[in-house]
């Protein structure tokens, strides 16, 4: 920008700020411009530690909860009305981005509405900085980050591409836990457990801050689903945080998106498995659309039904029999087209499919048959005696081991269905015919082969959780 143009732009920007401040104060005095309210949790961090087994943990110290006024949205409304001013039209004609202009003016107006007006020197410094260096394209108003529990980044940061967004995973550092204030719909203390942070980069279609927040939550839910399919573990994105990047502000908002049912020993992503993890996530992002992560899709999509059953079996807290029933019903949604002889059909179709990725068909047949016995009893309001339950679960190493294997089998089957066999009627027909027709067997093998190495050798999540219990144990708890 030429020196004369720059001086002219500074004059126009100063004049627009004066007009905006006058309008804002006039509307505030008249009562037509009102702030929003937010809950604030002020706290300090007293302890931070990291271990490869437990990941990064922090303990929040003193904190107090108050309610304060938020003028950001009100300031933005006033700033948007300034687009009709001739000064704004001249600035836009000179190539100034309308989004950046609105944002700059809104920040100036917001400070005054909050009762903390900028000094003339501060205002001039910001105006000068507005025209220095290239301005980024329209994107999130604040830099978004996700907080992850249950997955440790062992080595260097790594990135995933989910649609239009790039997610970069990194290990936490002490500075991540030194929040002075967190603003959101609910009061949240400093994160008690965070194993990884995820930087989100990508263009957002809307320039509305509230819509951007909804978009970030949608990204968090989608990423959470992708990671739980890529790693059959209770990894969870527990919060989405916006950081104000214009002047280096502290986090602006925090929203809890998922609460892990228990603090598992986390999955570890490092040099030995990061390539497989990122490749699987990349494939899933193309086949597992973000709409499938929404529970509403379970009304119309059998893959969404299987996924949400998987999520419940994987992370919900409660009766182990209930979680086993959820896993078996998730498998049913993938392999059943009618309600006849369900146990028999599952005991044939699931072992046939998983045999291609190195899982013993005989063991799979026995597991799904016993799992269906528990599922049938549980969903029909009946229960197995302790003796009957022992007979069913002992061959599989115990209740938790049985649950872990069913979760893994459901996950593997769902991933294969997403990648190779998305249409249920064709899938069921091909598996059934592959049992007796060598040509169909080869066709099924060929469809699965590109994804075999991504699923082979993955261990089942069979950890014992302190807050899980079986119905047989309830008697001793009462």
Residue written as token pair 């920040």: 107
pLDDT-derived band of residue 60, with 50, 70 and 90 as boundaries? very low
pLDDT-derived band of residue 421, with 50, 70 and 90 as boundaries? very high
Question: What's the mean pLDDT in 366-379?
Answer: 90
The answer to whether the CB of 443 falls within 8 A of the CB of 456 is no
pLDDT-derived band of residue 176, with 50, 70 and 90 as boundaries? low
The answer to whether the CB of 226 falls within 8 A of the CB of 284 is yes
Instruction: Tell me what pLDDT residue 467 has.
Output: 37
- The DSSP code for 442 is H
SS3 assignment, position 59: strand
**What is the rounded CA–CA span in Å between residue 467 and residue 5?**
67
- Of residues 94 and 459, more confidently modeled: 94
- As a whole number, the mean pLDDT across the chain is 77
Instruction: Tell me what pLDDT residue 37 has.
Output: 62
Rg (the chain; Cα; Å): 27
Instruction: Tell me what pLDDT residue 314 has.
Output: 85
Evaluated on CA atoms 101, 107, 110, 111, the torsion sign reads: negative
**What is the rounded CA–CA span in Å between residue 473 and residue 204?**
50
pLDDT-derived band of residue 129, with 50, 70 and 90 as boundaries? confident
Beta strands 181-184 and 236-243: pairing type? unpaired
Instruction: Tell me what pLDDT residue 205 has.
Output: 58
Residue written as token pair 């699965």: 448
Question: What's the mean pLDDT in 35-42?
Answer: 57
Instruction: With residue 377 as reference, give the H or E element that holds it.
Output: helix 361-379
Question: What's the mean pLDDT in 19-47?
Answer: 74
Angle between helices 274-287 and 209-230 (to 10 degrees): 120
pLDDT-derived band of residue 406, with 50, 70 and 90 as boundaries? very high
**8-12, 213-217, 296-300, 468-472: segment of lowest average pLDDT:** 468-472
The answer to whether the CB of 46 falls within 8 A of the CB of 57 is no
pLDDT-derived band of residue 473, with 50, 70 and 90 as boundaries? very low
Instruction: Tell me what pLDDT residue 391 has.
Output: 87
Question: What's the mean pLDDT in 264-284?
Answer: 85
Q: pLDDT, tens digit, for every residue of 219-256?
A: 888 898 899 899 887 788 877 766 544 433 333 344 44
Question: What's the mean pLDDT in 128-136?
Answer: 60
- The residues, any chain, with a CB within 8 Å of residue 182's CB and separated by 6 or more, are 40, 41, 43, 188, 190, 251, 253, 254
Question: What's the mean pLDDT in 264-281?
Answer: 84
- Of residues 23 and 294, more confidently modeled: 23
The answer to whether the CB of 331 falls within 8 A of the CB of 350 is yes
Instruction: Tell me what pLDDT residue 143 has.
Output: 67
Q: What percent of the chain has pLDDT above 70?
A: 73
Q: What percent of the chain has pLDDT above 90?
A: 29
For residue 216, the tally of other CB atoms under 10 A from its CB is 24
* Cα atoms in the Cβ-side hemisphere of radius 13 Å centred on 345: 17
Instruction: Tell me what pLDDT residue 246 has.
Output: 41
Alpha helices in 178-245, H assignment, sequence order = 209-230
**What is the rounded CA–CA span in Å between residue 231 and residue 195?**
15
Structure-derived torsion over alpha carbons of residues 317, 320, 323, 327, reported in degrees to the nearest 10:
140
SS3 assignment, position 259: coil
- The DSSP code for 132 is S
CA–centroid distance for 230 within its chain:
13
How far is residue 64 from each of residues 19, 35, 124, 169, 191, measured CA to CA in Å? 38, 22, 36, 31, 15
pLDDT-derived band of residue 49, with 50, 70 and 90 as boundaries? low
Strand ranges in 265-412 using DSSP code E only, listed in sequence order: 267-269
Instruction: Tell me what pLDDT residue 469 has.
Output: 35
Q: pLDDT, tens digit, for every residue of 140-161?
A: 445 678 888 888 888 889 999 8
Starting at the edge strand found earlier in the chain, the sheet holding 165-170 runs: 158-162, 165-170, 196-201, 143-149, 236-243, 251-255
Instruction: Tell me what pLDDT residue 206 has.
Output: 57
């Amino acid at each position: 920008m030429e020196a004369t143009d720059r001086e002219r732009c500074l004059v126009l920007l100063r004049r627009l700020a004066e007009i905006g401040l006058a309008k804002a104060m006039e509307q505030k005095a008249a009562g037509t411009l009102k702030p929003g309210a937010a809950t604030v949790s002020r706290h300090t961090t007293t302890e931070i530690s990291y271990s490869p087994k437990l990941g990064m943990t922090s303990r929040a110290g003193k904190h107090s909860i108050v309610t304060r006024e938020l003028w950001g949205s009100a300031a933005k409304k006033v700033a948007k009305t300034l687009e009709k001013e001739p000064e704004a039209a001249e600035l836009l004609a000179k190539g100034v981005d309308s989004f950046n202009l609105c944002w700059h003016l809104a920040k100036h107006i917001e400070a005054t509405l909050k009762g903390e007006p900028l000094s003339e020197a501060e205002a001039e410094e910001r105006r000068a900085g507005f025209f220095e260096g290239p301005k980024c394209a329209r994107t999130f108003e604040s830099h978004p980050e996700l907080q992850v529990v249950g997955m440790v980044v062992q080595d260097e940061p790594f990135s995933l591409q989910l649609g239009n967004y790039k997610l970069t995973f990194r290990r936490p550092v002490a500075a991540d836990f030194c929040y002075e204030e967190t603003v959101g719909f609910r009061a949240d203390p400093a994160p008690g457990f965070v194993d990884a942070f995820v930087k989100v980069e990508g263009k957002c279609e809307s320039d509305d801050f509230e819509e951007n927040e909804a978009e970030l939550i949608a990204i968090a839910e989608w990423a959470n689903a992708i990671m739980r399919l890529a790693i059959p573990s209770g990894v969870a994105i527990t919060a989405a945080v916006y950081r104000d990047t214009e002047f280096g502000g502290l986090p602006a908002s925090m929203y809890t998106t998922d609460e892990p049912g228990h603090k598992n020993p986390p999955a570890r992503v490092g040099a030995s498995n990061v390539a497989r993890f990122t490749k699987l996530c990349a494939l899933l992002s193309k086949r597992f659309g973000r709409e499938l992560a929404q529970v509403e899709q379970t009304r119309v999509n059998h893959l969404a039904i299987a996924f949400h059953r998987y999520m419940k079996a994987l992370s919900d807290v409660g009766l182990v029999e209930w979680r086993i029933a959820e896993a078996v019903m998730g498998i049913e949604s993938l392999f059943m087209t009618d309600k006849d002889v369900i146990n028999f059909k599952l005991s044939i179709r699931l072992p046939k499919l998983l045999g291609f990725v190195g899982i013993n068909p005989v063991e799979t047949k026995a597991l799904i048959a016993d799992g269906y016995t528990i599922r049938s009893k549980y969903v029909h309001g009946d229960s197995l005696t302790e003796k009957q339950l022992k007979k069913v679960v002992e061959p599989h190493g115990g209740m938790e081991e049985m649950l872990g294997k069913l979760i893994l089998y459901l996950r593997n089957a769902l991933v294969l269905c997403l990648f190779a066999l998305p249409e249920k009627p064709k899938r069921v027909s091909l598996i059934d015919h592959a049992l007796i027709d060598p040509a169909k067997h080869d066709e099924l093998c060929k469809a699965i082969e590109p994804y075999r190495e991504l699923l082979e050798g993955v261990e089942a999540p069979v950890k014992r959780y302190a807050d899980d219990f079986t119905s047989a144990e309830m008697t001793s708890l009462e």
